[in-house]
Chain A
Amino acid sequence: MQFISLENVVFSYSDSENDLIAKNAIDGVSLDIKKGEFVALLGHNGCGKSTVAKHLNAMLLPDSGKVYVDGDDTADEDKTFEIRKKVGLVLQNPDNQLVASIVEDDVAFGPENLGIEPDEIRRRVDFALKAVGMYDYRESAPFKLSGGQKQRVAIAGILAMQPQCIVLDEPTAMLDPNGRDEVLSTLLKLNREDGITVVLITHYMEEAVLSDRVVVMDEGKILTQGTPDEVFSQVELLKKHRLDVPQSAELAHRLKGCGVKIDKIPLTVQDCVDMLEGVLK
């Protein structure tokens, strides 16, 4: 079943005055996201991926085209909160998403806005904090946490609203490698164990490799999509659009160019080691 579907969405940030020079931030994007999927949206800065993210929970409305979330049109104002409840958006800078001075109060912020009973909020907050592994820090002040911890609290804040889908707009861009691992393993767990649909927007190829489906965007359009295997095999296409491929895929691609016989492009270091072993035997 399609959970979110974008139909030929066009959006431009310009106001009517300088229409002539304005370029569409996204230009005819059609995309379907199924329930329970882990989708990675890849692309350069300014390729329109953040704009797509903001369309998924009605923060932005398309200039033309339609966005449906669980059957509801995002342009329908009566459904705005319903949609934001179903699709939570986590932003890049963890500092600017935490609104309260105590971790658990911050996680409670979303459910409080939804007008949920205090006991139920408490239950959800505890659940969300445990799910991201931050329960022990529930009484800390956000500014005392590391970047990765803050981002996990931000994810908990969205989780406490019990969304069916979490959209993350470059959640790891401001984090160190440790923080990045923390956030990614949290996301994988939520997707695999709790069945939450995850849309991860990123420009790290290593993160995209973990997903079920990779969607590559360039200049407001979808360039290609498919499983990580399918997408990263198209090394030529990605290179042409100045996009990186995982190092192991790059290595395999070059070896292939030198005449080494490789059946499957490896995406992780381990796969790459296995592949090389196979080749050298």
Chain B
Amino acid sequence: MVRDVAFGQYFPGKSIIHRLDSRAKILLLIGYIVIIFCAFNYFSLSLVALLSAVMIALSKISPKFYFKSLKVIIFVVIFTSLLNLFYGTGEIIAQWWIFKVTVGGINRAVFVTVRIICLILASSCLTFTTAPTELTDAIERLMKPLNKLHFPVHEIAMMMSLALRFVPTLLEETDKITSAQKARGADMESGNILKRVKALIPILIPLFVSSFRRAYEIATAMECRCYHGGNGRTRMKIIHMTKRDVMAFAVLAFVILGVILCNIFIPTVI
């Protein structure tokens, strides 16, 4: 059940996107998210959407998985677009009771939908093509300057990578506990929502208890291997920015320029 969620999964591969420096990918994603929200007319919006499509094509991962990751947020998309549809101003096209659909409303709904979809597609592209360890590694390296402000960068990155490491282990454990409770006669499939939520308690409590025990053991194992925080620690894998990364930044810069030009020369829609 939990395993079906595509969002956040990693698909190993050798595409151009896979081989980009993970730090570059994070920065590119942040840049991309900014321009998603800086597109104010249909030309710039389609430029932004086009970049998403190019990313997906270059990642060489079946669009099926991208659709799957969209499925998770489909309700959010529908809800926000409906909300925006009825909150617009301008020429009224249709009206029913207090709901009125306006041109402005339609525009806003379309923009919000496209923006959320692009956002999800681009972030999926990042997580699909980057190993979790590389991601946390990149975050650690990118946030390094914060160390000067006594922000525990290494510790946070360590916690993130440990959490990611233990996701499959804990899923397995959840399955085991669920089976064990079912064997004892627990009923999880019938009843209303409240009843089903309550039925989760006998699963969550053992899971929590065993997680604490596990955490204690992991800490012991880490100490046995001389772990003593980030000071004096080296890394086996060093990541380098390459020409490929520079090119990726160039493409993003090009699209940003395009968006800015479109915004200047073509009238704003919303």
Using CB atoms and an 8 Å cutoff, list the residues of chain A in contact with chain B.
57, 59, 81, 84-85, 88-89, 91, 93, 95-102, 104-105, 108-118, 121-122, 125, 141-143, 154, 157-158, 161
A110 to B232, CA, bound (A): 12
Number of interface residues of B (CB under 8 A): 29
Quick check: A112 and B164 within 8 Å, CB to CB?
A: no
Minimum CB–CB distance for A86 against chain B, Å: 11
A-B contact pairs, 15 of them (CB 8 A): A57-B224, A59-B223, A85-B226, A91-B224, A95-B214, A99-B161, A99-B222, A100-B165, A105-B237, A112-B236, A113-B226, A141-B168, A143-B169, A143-B172, A161-B225
Interface residues of B in 105-121 (CB under 8 A from A): none
Q: Which 4 A-B pairs have the closest CB atoms?
A: A108-B236, A110-B225, A96-B217, A97-B221
Minimum CB–CB distance for A263 against chain B, Å: 44
Task: Give every chain A residue within 8 A of B214 (Cβ-Cβ).
Answer: 95-96
The prevalent SS among residues of A at the interface is: helix
Q: Which of B172, B226, B227 is the most central at the interface, judged by chain A CB atoms within 10 Å of its CB?
A: B226
A128 to B132, CA, bound (A): 24
Quick check: B131 and A101 within 8 Å, CB to CB?
A: yes
Minimum CB–CB distance for A50 against chain B, Å: 11
Q: Which of A85, A96, A102 contacts B218 (CB 8 A)?
A: A96
The prevalent SS among residues of B at the interface is: helix
Task: Give every chain B residue within 8 A of A108 (Cβ-Cβ).
Answer: 235-237
A98 to B168, CA, bound (A): 13
Interface residues of B in 160-183 (CB under 8 A from A): 161-162, 164-165, 168-169, 172
A116 to B226, CA, bound (A): 12
Q: Which of B165, B222, B236, B238 contacts A142 (CB 8 A)?
A: B165
Q: Which of A81, A88, A100, A110 contacts B133 (CB 8 A)?
A: A100
A114 to B168, CA, bound (A): 28
